[in-house]
Amino acid sequence: MAYSVNPYQQGGTAGTEVSPTGGGRNVTLLESLMTHPTHTDGFVDKGDALVVGDIIGVAKIDADAATDYIPIDTEGIWNLSVVATDNTGNIAVAIGNKLYINTSTAALSKDHNGNTAKFFGYALGAVGSGETCVIPVKVHADPIEVDTILVGNSNAYKTTTVAGTKFIEYRFSNSATSGDNRGMYLRQYLTGAGSGGEALRAFNTVVDVAAGSVHGAHISQSFASEGTVTGQAMGLRSTLHCPDVVLTNGSYYGAMSEIWFDGDTSDISGTAAHAIHCFTQGGDATGKATAGNVLLFAGLSSTQFDDDGTATCSATLKCEINGNTRYLMFADSAAAS
């Protein structure tokens, strides 16, 4: 039955059970808070898939008014209408597939767009691509399927003493023969005036003496023995997109290497080696001998590169090359023709 008043009243005694029904899988919420399929009377019907904030479930009775409190099953198995689509278009639904509920229409599908959908449960029946069918659905609220995943924070880190631990690990294998395939895609829009930020920040802090190499980030492009490319192959590509407007302020770089000194007692002079940027070549000696260029400049404008005439060296940069100190020479102006 519907309730006329909120069954969850504040001011109870701590530790007393609120509702023993179904081990807590049934909750009772106000009809006006629910997003559910559209009906002539505008109210939720028994058997409707619905969502209230991050709570998902199925209505157990009809509502007669927006002020009714309706019991919801959040863990049952129900026959529900499912649309065989996802974020990209029509796609078949198979037994065991994850299903999501649209937060505006309450439609169930495989569309998992976090802006418009919440995880709802699992398909226990099949639906042909693009079709809409009623199938059994295992309703299940998954707390992992949320907009923000937090594992530890600045005051309470997730910790372990197990060597070789990978806290979060994803491994993918893609057999597609065309397309721009990505293991992971990350994009952030900064839409607030005056804001700043990063799409990705990797920070590795050494607390004790580390015996091995440490990296803030390590990105590799590798090949199987038979793997090659007909285009470009890069271990890391950094691209700064300049908008199609005249830029008049700020500083812009395609990439930046930086050594940051945390205080006035920071002293790197006694280290075995240091540099703002290190160019290193590793691997098999015979293979290394086949590499020719250390630097390659392509697409430079005549302002960036002028090879007319002869310039006089006026400055040098100290470099270490294979353990030997060498100097790059620079002119303080472009050479005259």
> CA 137, CA 82: separation in Å to the nearest integer?
9
The DSSP secondary-structure symbol of 98 reads E
> CA 44, CA 106: separation in Å to the nearest integer?
11
Q: Is 40 helix (H, G, I), strand (E, B) or coil?
A: coil
Burial class of residue 289 in the structure, from the number of CB atoms within 10 Å of its CB (0-12 exposed, 13-18 middle, 19+ buried): exposed
Tell me the one-letter amino acid at 210: A
Q: With contact defined as beta carbons under 8 Å apart, do 43 and 50 qualify? A: no
* Sign of CA pseudo-dihedral 282, 283, 286, 287: negative
CA-to-CA dists, residue 131 to 82, 112, 118, 149, 243, angstroms: 8, 18, 21, 33, 42
pLDDT of residue 337: 47
Please report, in tens digits, the pLDDT of each residue of the chain (337 residues total). 666 677 777 777 787 777 766 667 899 999 999 999 999 999 999 999 999 998 999 999 999 999 999 999 999 999 999 999 998 899 999 999 999 999 999 999 999 887 789 999 999 999 999 999 999 999 997 766 556 666 777 778 888 888 888 888 888 899 999 988 988 888 888 888 888 888 888 888 888 888 888 888 888 989 998 899 888 898 888 999 999 999 998 999 999 999 999 999 999 999 999 999 999 999 999 999 999 988 888 888 877 877 766 677 888 988 888 888 899 888 877 765 4
* pTM summary value: 0.60
> CA 235, CA 221: separation in Å to the nearest integer?
5
Q: Is 23 helix (H, G, I), strand (E, B) or coil?
A: helix
